Amino acid sequence: MPASLAFTLAFALALVAGLVVKFWLATRQVRHVARHRDAVPAAFEQAITLDAHQKAADYTIAKTRLGVIEMAWAAAVLLGWTLLGGLDLLNRLLLDAMGGGMWQQLALFGAFALIAGLLELPFTLWQTFVLEERFGFNKMTWRLWIKDTIKGVLLGVAIGLPLAALILWLMHAAGALWWLWAWGVWMGFNLLLMLVYPTFIAPLFNKFQPLDDAALKTRVNALMQRCGFSAKGLFVMDGSTRSAHANAYFTGFGASKRVVFYDTLLRQLNAGEIEAVLAHELGHFKHRHVVKRMAAMFALSLAGFALLGWLSGHTWFYTGLGVQPNLSAPNDALAILLFMLAAPVFGFFVAPLPVLISRRHEFEADAYAIAQTSGKDLSAALLKLYKDNASTLTPDPVFVKFYYSHPPASERLARMAAA
């Protein structure tokens, strides 16, 4: 069997198998949540009303059903780009119009991103302005959405095109080990992004103001000092301009680290609960979860670049995915796009491993928070966040193992109670 045909069959089989598993998991989730919709689990009867429980169930079911439709559409689009010849046609049109060279390859990236974005746009709009609106979470106006979209596109062009041009140049000029140099550039870019994001990029989309609650500020600073953590500042973000969902997070790297609270979080939790949530986040740093995740990202991306370096030199990689490689022009952009399209199809089957590790990290961070603050406050905060974010209390166990990066509420609270 020719290598290109074997690769086509492997890709098609992986795509079909992935879709079957995804549909099966989604069906399990919908049925399990619907089956437990009419009764609050016994462990939560005193804290969660039936109305809140049913809202979370309905929200979860609606999101899952939308995800199923989006999943089918994404598979059809993927086939259109690859085996049905969409990417090959786009490349040929640009070659005829521009000839080969760097500008044609950058135009291929840009045209692909534009078309892909337009194809995903209906689901983005439905998610924001229909589904989230229906359950009372959307605070985004059309004007703000348009402004955010324009900013995002301009930022993507300003950052993405120079980075793409540099990697394309390395692929052409750096010899057989170009992938190692490209990996170094990619890692350097990610580290630089972590440094500049809090100060220069995030403020383009949200307003950040210093935390002005003196009592809470004193309490938070005491917690961080007790935990041996320092940050450049404590900030409140206007998350309520876009969504009613609440959160808190650390951002930045090195000296640029800062603590950010959503304004919605400060409205929903009391001072002790906010301190407990922050202690949970500090637990991730104390257990070096951030460093471990960065190391895993470095190793995985190195393997990915090495694999891309090998695949890009084989004709069957292109023809097996429905693209005829250029004979008189570089194929570097084609190789990158095909790799981006095909890798998730094969990578889907190892998806449960990173989320399993993530759930373990969450348990460790919970244990650290209980040791530093009040376990009752952390439990109360989690219950409020599950309720206010309409997170279901009864997810399907198999669905959890495959997708959930955070343990379900029942598992987290039971572990806390035991501690």
- Cα 176 to Cα 87, 271, 312, 316: the distances in Å are 26, 57, 11, 19
Residue 318: CB atoms within 10 A of its CB come to 22
pLDDT, position 414? 83
Among 142-156, 265-279, 303-317, 357-371, the range scoring the smallest mean pLDDT is 265-279
3-state secondary structure 18-74: HHHHHHHHHHHHHHHHHHCCCCCCHHHCCCCCHHHHHHHHHHHHHHHHHHHHHHHHH
pLDDT, position 201? 87
Residue 248 pLDDT more than 80?
A: no
Residue type, position 359, single letter: R
Residue 231 pLDDT more than 80?
A: no
| pLDDT band, residue 116 (cuts 50/70/90) | very high
pLDDT, position 187? 93
- Give the 3-state secondary structure of residue 246: coil
| pLDDT band, residue 99 (cuts 50/70/90) | confident
pLDDT, position 226? 85
Closest CA relative to residue 186, chosen from 305, 13, 45: 305
Residue 255 pLDDT more than 80?
A: no
Residue 338: CB atoms within 10 A of its CB come to 24
- Give the 3-state secondary structure of residue 100: coil
Closest CA relative to residue 85, chosen from 171, 8, 20: 8
Closest CA relative to residue 217, chosen from 283, 262, 264, 261: 261
Active-site pick, 238, 263, 281, 411: 281
Average pLDDT over the chain, rounded to whole? 90
Active site residue 396: no
In angstroms, the CA 157 to CA 150 distance is 11
pLDDT, position 51? 93
Counting residues of the chain whose pLDDT is more than 70, the rounded percentage is: 98
What order do you get walking across the sheet with 234-237 strand by strand? 208-210, 234-237, 258-262, 248-251
The H-or-E segment that residue 248 falls in is strand 248-251
- Using one digit for the tens of pLDDT, what is the confidence trace for 40-84? 998 888 888 999 999 999 999 999 999 999 999 999 999 999 999
pTM: 0.90
pLDDT, position 256? 61
| pLDDT band, residue 250 (cuts 50/70/90) | confident
Compare 318 and 388 and report the one with higher pLDDT: 318
Active-site pick, 366, 377, 388, 396: 366
pLDDT, position 186? 94
Among 105-109, 122-126, 276-280, the range scoring the smallest mean pLDDT is 276-280
Residue 253 pLDDT more than 70?
A: no
Give the pair of three-digit tokens for residue 86. Answer: 């969409």
Active site residue 366: yes
* Parallel/antiparallel/unpaired status of strands 208-210 and 234-237: antiparallel
Residue 415 pLDDT more than 90?
A: no
Backbone angles phi, psi at 138, to 5 degrees: -75, 130
- Cα 38 to Cα 56, 58, 167, 347: the distances in Å are 11, 11, 55, 37
Indicate the DSSP class of residue 389: T
Crossing angle for the helix pair 271-286 and 289-311, to the nearest 10 degrees: 50
3-state secondary structure 167-215: HHHHHHHCHHHHHHHHHHHHHHHHHHHHHHHHHHHHHHCCCEEECCCHH
Residue pair 108/334 in contact (Cβ under 8 Å)? The answer is yes
Residue 103: CB atoms within 10 A of its CB come to 12
Compare 419 and 66 and report the one with higher pLDDT: 66
| pLDDT band, residue 21 (cuts 50/70/90) | very high
Residue pair 355/403 in contact (Cβ under 8 Å)? The answer is yes
The strand pairing partners of 248, in sequence order, are 261
pLDDT, position 101? 87
Q: What is the mean pLDDT of residues 93-98?
A: 93
Residue pair 15/345 in contact (Cβ under 8 Å)? The answer is yes
Residue pair 396/28 in contact (Cβ under 8 Å)? The answer is yes
Backbone angles phi, psi at 380, to 5 degrees: -65, -40
| Placement of tokens 């890009």 in the chain | 312
pLDDT, position 389? 84
- Using one digit for the tens of pLDDT, what is the confidence trace for 137-169? 888 899 999 999 999 999 999 999 999 999 999
Residue type, position 154, single letter: L
- Using one digit for the tens of pLDDT, what is the confidence trace for 175-225? 899 999 999 999 999 988 888 888 888 888 988 888 888 888 888 888 888
Backbone angles phi, psi at 144, to 5 degrees: -65, -40
| pLDDT band, residue 301 (cuts 50/70/90) | very high
